[in-house]
Amino acid sequence: MPKQIVTAPDAPTTGFTDRSTPSPLAQAIRFGNTLFVSGQGPLDPATREVVSTDIGEQTRRTLANLRRILEAAGATFANVVNMRVALRRAEDFPAFNEAFREVLAGEKVTRTCVVAPPHRKGVDVEIDCIAMFD
């Protein structure tokens, strides 16, 4: 069974490489009934620039980017079974969690959240996920 590369043209492809260099990453890969979505950050899809310094806004943009990739694969947050989050600062957790709760609107997932600075300056949150299909 070959893996399927999933690309959402309205979401950034990360990899934090120079913009003139293609990213070495896929936005997502579907293998069988499982979708693995690469870590997304708070980047504007058109400019690949960080949208804000506010953790709430960064979280909402990051989740919007994830949503677009999920949709390109025919999924929604209802298909997500696990998310992993990296926060730059522990003190951002309450505001991050509130924005996360707001966007997921009652949808339940399993989640691990660690304080581990994302690679790119200005990015204060990065989230990846795994989704399942019937």
Clarify whether 113 is annotated catalytic.
yes
Distance CA 64, CA 25 (A): 19
The kind and range of the H/E element at 113 are strand 110-115
Distance CA 42, CA 52 (A): 8
Buried b (16+ CB within 10 A) or exposed e, 56-92: bebbbbbbbbbbbbbebbebebebbeebbbbbbeeeb
Catalytic one among 64, 109, 113, 130?
113
**At what angle are helices 55-72 and 93-104 packed, to 10 degrees?**
40
- Tokens standing for residue 43: 């980047």
User: What is the set of active-site residues?
Assistant: 113
